[in-house]
Amino acid sequence: MSQIEEEFRTEVHNFKNELKQGKVNGSYNIAYRTVFLLRKLIATAKWNNAKELIDSIKSLGREVSEAEPSEPTVGNIVRRVLKLVREEHLGTVGDDHAGESLHKTLMAKKSEEKMDFTQSSSNLKSAIMEAVNEFVSELETCEDNIATQALEYIHSKEIIMTFGKSPVVERFLKNAARKRQFTVIVAECAPQLHGHDLAKSLAESNIETIVIPDSAVFAIMSRVNKVIIGTHAVMADGSLKAVCGALAVAEAARHHSVPLIVCTGLYQLSPTFVCSHEHDNLNNFLSPDPLGLNMTPGAVNSYNPTYDYISADLITLMISDVGGNAPSYLYRLLSEMYHQQDYEL
């Protein structure tokens, strides 16, 4: 094994360990680390054609995903890069003399299915690297692209509720505050109390902010105009894997007919579904110590889950980097982002 390969294996090993130990916080950081690993694989691995590269990427994707099966972001990024590889192969080796016609557009999928990925091309590597670099810059500007849409959804004198601390929601609210005056009610998100951090940050930006305990969400919801939350992942049917406690907020919003808006990056969209019997596998459980249950060990079973599963029917709108969509429209975005052959890694 060469020194470059050895360094790469060490990087993969370290990333897997950090995922297992929960040291990589947030889906954005996981996505960023994953795409850099894949970029290094494309640049340094020995491959002669697109098929060999696709196999290598899938193998790495499976290996890293197995380190933390409840984390869908790794699989999302792997599938996105696989789609880029397929597209660039089609562009460099494909039949381009047909011209950009409507017929060609309609037949694109069929030609891709028949495509021979074992054909080699001299400039394929540079084309793929360029596409991956574009994807990296797309990731970096994702939060900004969501935040720039804030003025379309937030109006003056509104009362907005949010839950916990989501970097994208924080940026969204701050961007709206440049031209609008509104009040933000922040549910504190016990036991981690991330809501306090968000409230402090918003107050420093001269946004009128009120912190409430999670138990007061239902009582105050009738006064709220809209709820805006972030998420950790979005499933194929539009359901969410969001921070624990968000489900109570979503249910309260539905009861009071308050619109629930979710800010999500496209990299968080996963083509996988969650069956009812898999809800426990979807979650991670933290130590119950922060819950403050001062009881004799064994006297009571207490759980401190990391995430809540929120079904699609509780969500009014999803705002991504490409605009606002209803959860029922996600299948279109998924078909544009991932290739069907890569849904199963």
For residue 278, pLDDT over 70 is answered with no
Instruction: Give me the domain span that covers residue 155.
Output: 144-337
pLDDT digits (tens, 9 = 90+) for 151-190: 999 999 999 999 989 999 999 999 999 999 999 999 998 8
Question: Whole-angstrom Cα distance, residue 325 to residue 186?
Answer: 25
Tell me the per-residue pLDDT of 4-22, one tens digit each, with 9 for 90 and over: 888 888 888 999 999 888 8
Q: Would you place residue 255 in the very low, low, confident or very high pLDDT band (cuts 50, 70, 90)?
A: very high
The answer to whether the pTM exceeds 0.75 is: yes
Same domain, residue pair 223 and 250 = yes
Looking at residue 47, its pLDDT comes to 82
Does residue 343 sit within a domain? Answer: no
Co-location of 204 and 261 in the same domain: yes
Looking up residue 322, the CATH number of its domain turns out to be: 3.40.50.10470
pLDDT at 50: 85
For residue 268, is it within any domain? yes
Do 319 and 289 fall within a single domain? yes
In a domain, 244, yes or no: yes
Number of domains present in the structure of the chain:
2
Lowest mean pLDDT among 35-39, 240-244, 291-295, 316-320: 291-295
Check whether residue 46 and residue 86 sit in a common domain. yes
Task: Identify whether 345 is part of a domain.
Answer: no
